[in-house]
Amino acid sequence: MKQLLLDFLWSHLRTLGAFRASGQTPEAARESAGLAPGYGAWFDECLRVFEAAGRLERRDGRILLDDTARGRPIEELWREWEREKPVWRENPDLAATHELVETTLRAFPDILSGRRPATEVLFPGGSLDLVQNAYATNPASAYFNQVLAADLVARLRRRSQDRTADPARILEIGAGTGATSAVVLEALRSARIDVREYRYTDLSRAFLNHAEHAFGAENPWLTYGILDIERPVAEQGLTPGAYDAVVAANVLHATRDIRHTLRNAKALLRPGGLLVLNELTANNLLSQFSFGLLDGWWRYEDPHLRVQGSPLLSTAGWRHVLTREGFHAIALPAREAEDLGQQIIVAESDGVVRRATAAPRPSPP
């Protein structure tokens, strides 16, 4: 699928008007394609991908092409897509991801030109199903959620052996559709962990309503609240140092300044409390057809800490920023799965909370 997607990306941009002539500047190529203003960073990543694949060269600030760079007609690519489609559809691990990518591909010209918001395509009519199904059926996502839940339960069980320990308080940041929450909540119930509160948070009230409907009946200790982790938590009605564990699955990277974000997350934890992350750690071409089309993917202002062309951090990058922000005992319970481009990262707070006295600025290189 990777080669076919690369061909689609190239041919769509060529059809829109990019790369009509060798020697264009990136700005001229982007303008020729008529891309909407918000797609500058997305187009720059396309250039990096094409250069790595040998589709073009960049020299002295210009894009150099050769006669073999014309690409295949879109119609031919769609015929190949339809021939391969039954194989993907019959594979339960690929079917939902295939549907997500095909949906955006069909709308590509309208999305890139700004005629249709990418959010409207990825979340049609406000529905979460297209994205939620792609996560829920992805075997890698399922594996990492299980590892996260099992590791958290084991740590909370050890904590509960201390007779003076209170019931656990857990908060999840950006819980969204609850793909990770569902696995963690089931693991907590099955292990009979004594839980005082599991606070389900997100930026959107719609996700909180979804969670109450989907998980509330089985989990009486579940609470809900809006949380913007880029803002100090005390300003949002949360008590600093109140939680034993903070869970965040593929959400912390989607912020402007990762070190500032970690400070806010750390403020939620008691000394020795656990920050439990489930994060993608490698850039992937699929992003150009899904979350890379959304403004939030490109919000970051500290590129020196991120994986090139994305808001993601490598495993080593996470170790670096966590250590700098006063976390220790950093563990990787899924270390053997590093080559899947995702990782579970668990770190303990040293209990020191830093509070901003002015508007935060991106961390310097």
pLDDT of residue 94: 78
pLDDT of residue 68: 67
Q: Which two tokens stand for residue 226?
A: 């809006």
pLDDT of residue 357: 55
Q: Which two tokens stand for residue 239?
A: 């008590």
pLDDT of residue 177: 85
pLDDT of residue 239: 95
Burial class of residue 69 in the structure, from the number of CB atoms within 10 Å of its CB (0-12 exposed, 13-18 middle, 19+ buried): middle
Q: Is there a contact between 29 and 66 (Cβ–Cβ < 8 Å)?
A: no
**What kind of architecture, by CATH, is found in domain 141-349?**
3-Layer(aba) Sandwich (3.40)
pLDDT of residue 89: 83
Q: How many CB atoms lie within 10 A of CB 88?
A: 18
- SS3 of the chain: CHHHHHHHHHHHHHHHCCCCCCCECHHHHHHHHCCCHHHHHHHHHHHHHHHHCCCCEEECCEEECCHHHHCCCHHHHHHHHHHHHHHHHHCCCCHHHHHHHHHHHHCHHHHHHCCCCHHHHHCHHHCCHHHHHHHHCCHHHHHHHHHHHHHHHHHHHHHHCCCCCCCEEEEEECCCCCHHHHHHHHHHHHCCCCEEEEEEEECCHHHHHHHHHHHCCCCCCEEEEECCCCCCHHHHCCCCCCEEEEEEECCCCCCCCHHHHHHHHHHCEEEEEEEEEEEECCCCHHHHHCHHHCHHHHCCCCHHHCCCCCCCCCHHHHHHHHHHCCEEEEECCCHHHHHHCEEEEEEEECCCCCCCCCCCCCCCC
Per-residue pLDDT of the chain (365 residues; tens, 9 = 90+): 889 999 999 999 999 989 888 898 999 999 999 999 889 999 999 999 999 999 999 999 999 987 667 788 999 999 999 999 898 888 877 788 889 999 999 999 999 999 999 999 998 988 878 887 877 677 888 899 999 999 999 999 998 887 677 999 999 999 988 989 999 999 999 999 999 999 999 999 989 999 999 999 999 999 999 999 999 999 999 999 999 999 999 999 999 999 999 999 999 999 999 999 999 999 989 889 998 999 889 999 999 999 999 999 999 999 999 999 999 999 999 999 989 999 999 999 999 987 655 555 555 55
pTM beyond 0.75, yes or no: yes
Any idea what the Cα angle at residue 84 is, between residues 78 and 90, rounded to 5°?
130
Amino acid at 356: A
- Give the Cα separation of 320 and 325 in Å (integer): 9
Domain boundaries, the chain: 2-135, 141-349
Query: CB-based contacts of 208: which residues, under 8 Å, 6+ apart?
Result: 200, 201, 202, 224, 225, 226
pLDDT of residue 138: 76
pLDDT of residue 363: 55
- SS3 of 247-316: EEECCCCCCCCHHHHHHHHHHCEEEEEEEEEEEECCCCHHHHHCHHHCHHHHCCCCHHHCCCCCCCCCHH
Closest Cα partner for 173 from 83, 300, 262, 288? 262
